[in-house]
């Protein structure tokens, strides 16, 4: 129980305690400010080259990171996500940067695990305003990732950077990674670990995704764009559902830079996210 006391022997006044608590909340909220417009954000993710390899996701156009940087700028994205090697060579400072500090390839079989490949210090030197880290909740290796993210989150906050958790339930114990219950668990795990924002998959309906947003309890929730959708309308309806549910925005990759007209898709997304127009 807090009994108070300070160096002069007096007790802390209640309004002092309240001020300190409020200050901490403001600090955490402000770490994501660079990635938000009116409380919402649209992030362009381009970490798939390490995760999937060039043959699965890239063509002659989008294999070039310069093209992605151009889309991020002209598409008016609030942030771009790169692994450190791409950031070192292609980041131009025109859009706020998130450096992904862990990763894996698609080659190993078995339970997923993604370990740290970039320090927070290096991410900061590249111009990052946030670091991103994937946690495969439910993997037999989740304890390693939880502990590693805990250290990274503390380091990031000490340096004034936001810590964003990609929380993807995956492994033998996960039967349905987009069920309302499991996605809400992912969102809550991000909050409990101190993430400023969580990137989670859409559940398929606004009501159950709304429970995930509530479970995040103030940590910003970004819907994961996922693989290229069958139709534009199907994808836009998912985004609209997430926004109606209270999501802070979208972290999208393939559904933009695999699109025949990425800037047109970006414009459609902006109307839903920022202008609150229906899909």
**pLDDT block averages, 10 residues each, the chain of length 279:** 45 47 50 97 97 94 98 98 98 98 95 98 98 98 98 98 98 94 98 98 98 98 96 97 98 98 98 92
Q: Which of these is catalytic: 129, 199, 201, 220?
A: 199
What region, left, alpha or beta, does residue 25 occupy, with left being phi > 0 and alpha being psi -120 to 50 degrees?
alpha
Task: Decide the pairing of beta strands 102-103 and 115-116.
Answer: antiparallel
Exposure on the CB side of residue 253, measured as CA atoms within 13 A: 19
* pLDDT in the model for residue 279: 82
Domains of the chain: 16-273 (3.20.20.70)
Q: Say whether 220 is catalytic.
A: no
Residues 262-277 as b/e (b if ≥16 CB within 10 A, e otherwise) read beebbebbbebbbeee
Neighbours of 180 (CB within 10 A): 17
- Measured CA to CA, the distance from residue 189 to residue 200 in angstroms comes to 11
For residue 34, the Cα-to-chain-centroid distance in whole angstroms is 13
* pLDDT in the model for residue 194: 98
* pLDDT in the model for residue 15: 52
Of the candidates 233, 236, 226, 217, the residue with the CA atom closest to the CA atom of residue 258: 226
For residue 149, the Cα-to-chain-centroid distance in whole angstroms is 13
* pLDDT in the model for residue 226: 93
* pLDDT in the model for residue 10: 47
Q: Say whether 133 is catalytic.
A: no
Q: Which of these is catalytic: 46, 91, 133, 168?
A: 168
Residues paired with 166 in a beta bridge? 134, 199
* pLDDT in the model for residue 30: 78
């Amino acid at each position: 129980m807090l009994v108070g006391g300070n160096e002069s022997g007096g007790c802390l006044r209640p309004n002092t305690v309240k001020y300190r608590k409020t200050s901490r909340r403001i600090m955490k909220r402000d770490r994501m400010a660079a990635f938000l417009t009116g409380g919402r954000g649209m992030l362009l993710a381009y970490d798939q080259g390490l995760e999937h390899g060039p043959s699965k996701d890239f063509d002659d156009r989008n294999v070039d990171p310069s093209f992605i940087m151009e889309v991020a700028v002209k598409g008016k994205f609030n942030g771009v996500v790169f692994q450190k090697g791409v950031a070192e060579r292609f980041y131009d400072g025109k859009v706020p940067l998130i450096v992904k500090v862990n990763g894996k390839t698609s080659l190993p079989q078995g339970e997923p695990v993604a370990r740290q490949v970039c320090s927070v210090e290096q991410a900061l030197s590249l111009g990052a305003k946030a670091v991103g880290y994937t946690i495969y909740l439910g993997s037999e290796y989740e304890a390693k990732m939880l502990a590693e993210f805990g250290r990274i989150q503390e380091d990031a906050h000490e340096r004034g950077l936001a810590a964003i958790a990609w929380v993807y339930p995956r492994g033998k114990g996960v039967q349905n990674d987009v069920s309302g219950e499991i996605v809400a668990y992912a969102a809550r795990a991000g909050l409990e670990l101190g993430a400023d924002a969580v990137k989670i998959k859409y559940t398929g309906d606004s009501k159950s995704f709304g429970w995930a947003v509530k479970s995040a309890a103030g940590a910003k929730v970004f819907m994961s764009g996922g693989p290229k959708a069958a139709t534009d309308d199907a994808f836009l309806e998912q985004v609209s559902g997430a926004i109606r549910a209270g999501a802070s925005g979208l972290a999208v990759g393939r559904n933009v830079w695999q699109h025949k007209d990425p800037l047109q898709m970006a414009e459609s997304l902006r109307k839903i996210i920022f202008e609150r127009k229906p899909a």
